[in-house]
Chain A
Amino acid sequence: MDVEGQRPMVSWENSTLAPVDRLRCERADSPTPGLVEGTEPGAVHQSAMFVHTQSFEDLTAEAEEAQREAELDQTDECTQELKALVVGEKTIEEQHNNSDISSESRAKEEDVSSEAWRSHRKHVFVLSEAGKPIYTRYGTEEALSSTMGVMMALVSFVEAEKNIIRSIQADGCKVVFLTKSPLVLVGVSRTCQSDKELLRELQYIYYQIVSLLTLTQLNHIFQHKQNYDLRRLLAGSEYLTDNLLLRLDRDPGLLLSAVTCLPLASSARDVVSSSLQTAKAKNLVFSILLAGDRLVTLVRKKDQYLHHIDLHLVFNLVGSSSSFREGEGWTPICLPKFNTAGFFHAHISYLEPASELCLILVSTDREDFFNMSDCKQRFVERLSKRSAYQAMKEALKCPSYSVEQVGIPELRHFLYKSKSSGLYTSPEFPHLYQSDEEQERLMGLYQDLHSHLHHPTRPLRSFYRCSQTENLLAWVTSGFELYLCFSPLGTKALAVSAVNKLLKWIRKEEDRLFILSPLTY
């Protein structure tokens, strides 16, 4: 066995300069390296589809970070990038040497595999500011009532500290608070996730609740009755939050703040998009065509952008209920990143009874059901006459691709996000990661890489890490984020050269893997 593979960290000093030179050469050859936002593989040609994450108030921390990153990235020469790759590792290694985290975190990983422990790896509680329980991930109300005292104490503690205390660590257990008046969200986690990752997840839960009720209604309720039992209003919708939590553990899109597309020839996708574009109506704001959890296309009103969080909430709504298969669904939905005050009204229906293709038409008018139903009808009529419809159905048969297609033998899996389009691509999980446990473990590793790249005070631009089970490499530029998983037998040199090959491959396939020309009505 490769000795290098057994060491927790590869020593950066030992790595030769060979891969650096090689990468530099290849980069020069590559069509357009696209390290800068807007030119990376998968970047949109026209105006983007989504709102930029960085433009949002509650992600200000991220915005600041982005700024810092942007500053760092200003010297965007290849050599700089590669220096960063090495410097990044050094930083991490120093950290690890100082506190010996590497061995400790391995022990934690082992723990994860024990059944009992895994099943309650992460608790999530939502309470009102008055301390009333609103949601618990595990257990019933009775179970929750037994922890009520603790929760109440925590809530008042948080309040007394004027929210300065964001997290408490005790007994290998991390408690994270998010106060979003009138709600308090508490995460209790035994995972290795950083505070920031946990807060991000709590934010999603917060938005899920807002999307069911609107913030205006929430505020209104609690202003009138501090002691209100919100479970009454959320009754029957808890499964949406449950499902969202599952997604947070498994869906790379939620981690990357991006969505992924159904691989489809751009000629076919363009026909689908333009058919959707023509089926418009006065109050129609967004038309979204999904294939399972993958975006086929999205058409939006001019100047109206959808935020990826809102889109994930829509994905979660559609994916959590089979009720839209029985007929045409019509439901109020608040898209909190768009507007926390009001409801949109979504017409949700499948194109065919047994199909994965689901159309979501978002209108501003709650009386618009029949107009939306008409839009759908027109879209379907138009599309069914075109060969693109058949092409799309064909594409549905293999909604993903295997990593073998990339042609890098030691590469097992990867996540690539194009920052400017907010879209990511990723192959299906290979055999080694077929089980839910293995997928969640790999997601955990990606999350760990992600939190290093997005560290609030010391963000890294690249990170390489070896373990007995796999070698990982992460790299962020102003244009993209890339996370790769290699066989543990590979070397860093191979990993570095793989990045270049992969970028070339994605560039070659970008027409199919991304939506390059999004449309507006």
Chain B
Amino acid sequence: MGENVQTIPGGAQPHKDRTLNRQVRTLRVKMVLLGSSGVGKSSLAVRFAKNEFRDTSPTVGCAFLTQVVHVSDASLRFEIWDTAGQEKYHSVTPLYYRGAHAALLVYDISKRETFIRAQLWLKELEKHYIPGSTVIFLIGNKGDLAWDRQVSVQEGQNLAHEKGLSFIETSALSGDQVNELLLDVGKIQNILKVPLDGSRHQTEYLTVNRINAHFSLMYWISGVKK
């Protein structure tokens, strides 16, 4: 409440931007983070939402984070579902990935078993998602631990290629490639088709301290328009 709502000068409330006398659209981007526990899903989520890295404790069930980014004539509301990745929660995950624009399937490049588990997750995902509606990203996290790597970049790429997924290696710790990832997620065409009535969410978290993502998205929006 109060403190965590930040607004951009002149662009505080989407849909009410009368000074510019034009409609500001809110676009909703629903993403879900999947993968074994400990691979860094929550750290990535916090990196997305707050551009910070801090030591997180294990996720219980699921955490929902939002991040609204204002760009020229649109507001992008990222809705991030961070799951626990524990086996006992498997049965309840459909709520999180149903209707998701992007599913980020994360593994830890320094732990081979998380890569193997990721392939099991993929099978699970394929059962539930409607092809075309969710874009799946394969993410090798903890890129900063490259000296200790157990999964090569090539292996990640091969799997992604074979299954038709996007692939990127990130580090939630250093922030490396995280904006690029977000940019890629933003590139998903179909998010443009789902403008959301902003009323319910007007008082939600609006953080713009992520200048980098902001610029990436501006870049993307302008790219799309061209």
Contact = CB atoms under 8 A, between A and B. Distances in A.
Contact of B63 (A234, A326, A380): A326
B3 A323 contact: no
B87 interface: yes
A323 B203 contact: no
Interface stretch (A53-61, A76-84, A329-337, A437-445): A329-337
Interface residues of A, number: 38
Size bin of chain B's contact surface: 20 to 34
Contact of A329 (B49, B62, B89): B62
A149 interface: no
Given A232-B87, A366-B92, A321 B57 contact: yes
A322 B57 contact: yes
A347 to B, nearest CB: 9
Interface in A295-338: 317, 320-324, 326-333
17 contacts: A212-B88, A233-B88, A236-B58, A236-B84, A236-B85, A321-B57, A322-B57, A326-B49, A327-B63, A328-B65, A329-B60, A330-B61, A333-B61, A352-B2, A352-B4, A369-B95, A381-B203
Contact of B58 (A323, A346, A348): A323
Given A233-B88, A234-B88, A352-B3, A327 B58 contact: no
Contact of A323 (B1, B42, B66, B88): B42
Given A326-B56, A330-B62, A235 B37 contact: yes
Contacts of A331: 60-62, 84
Given A324-B63, A326-B46, A237 B86 contact: yes
A85 B84 CA distance: 53
B92 A332 contact: yes
Interface string A326-368: 1111111100000000000010100111000000000000110
B95 A366 contact: yes
A369 B96 CA distance: 10
Contacts of B46: 326
Contacts of A232: 87
Contact of A384 (B1, B42, B88): B1
Contacts of B4: 352-353
B215 interface: no
A330 B59 CA distance: 10
B219 interface: no
A346 B84 CA distance: 15
Given A317-B60, A321-B57, A384-B2, A326 B65 contact: yes
Contacts, number: 96
B203 A235 contact: no
Contacts of A374: 200
A213 B86 CA distance: 12
Contacts of A320: 57
Contacts of A366: 92, 95
Nearest to B59: A323
Nearest to A383: B1
Contact of B42 (A326, A346, A353): A326
A333 B89 CA distance: 11
B62 to A, nearest CB: 5
A401 interface: no
A332 B85 CA distance: 14
B45 interface: yes
Nearest to A353: B4
Interface in B34-76: 37-38, 42, 45-46, 49, 56-66
Contacts of B2: 352, 384
A373 B63 CA distance: 12
A239 B56 CA distance: 14
Given A236-B86, A237-B86, A353-B3, A323 B56 contact: yes
Contact of B86 (A235, A327, A330, A370): A235
A352 B2 CA distance: 8
A267 interface: no
Interface of B: 1-4, 37-38, 42, 45-46, 49, 56-66, 80, 82, 84-89, 92, 95, 200, 203
Contacts of B63: 323-324, 326-330
A352 B1 CA distance: 6
Contacts of A233: 86-88
Most buried by B among A232, A326, A330: A326
Interface string A232-267: 111111010000000000000000000000000000
B83 to A, nearest CB: 10
B60 A380 contact: no
Contacts of B95: 366-367, 369
Given A329-B60, A331-B60, 18 more contacts: A236-B84, A236-B85, A239-B58, A322-B57, A323-B63, A324-B60, A326-B42, A326-B45, A326-B65, A327-B65, A329-B62, A331-B84, A332-B92, A351-B1, A352-B4, A366-B95, A369-B95, A384-B2
A332 B94 CA distance: 13
A395 to B, nearest CB: 17
Most buried by A among B58, B84, B87: B58
Contacts of B84: 236, 331
Nearest to A240: B60
Contact of A235 (B3, B82, B87): B87
Contacts of B45: 326-327
A252 B86 CA distance: 32
A87 B194 CA distance: 77
A377 interface: yes
Contacts of A384: 1-2
Contacts of A326: 42, 45-46, 49, 56, 63, 65, 82
Contacts of A213: 88
The 8 tightest CB contacts between A and B, nearest first, are A331-B61, A327-B65, A327-B63, A328-B64, A233-B88, A322-B57, A236-B86, A323-B59
A380 B46 CA distance: 23
A349 to B, nearest CB: 9
A360 to B, nearest CB: 12
Most buried by A among B56, B57, B84: B57
Contacts of A333: 61
A351 B2 CA distance: 10
A219 to B, nearest CB: 15
A239 B38 CA distance: 14
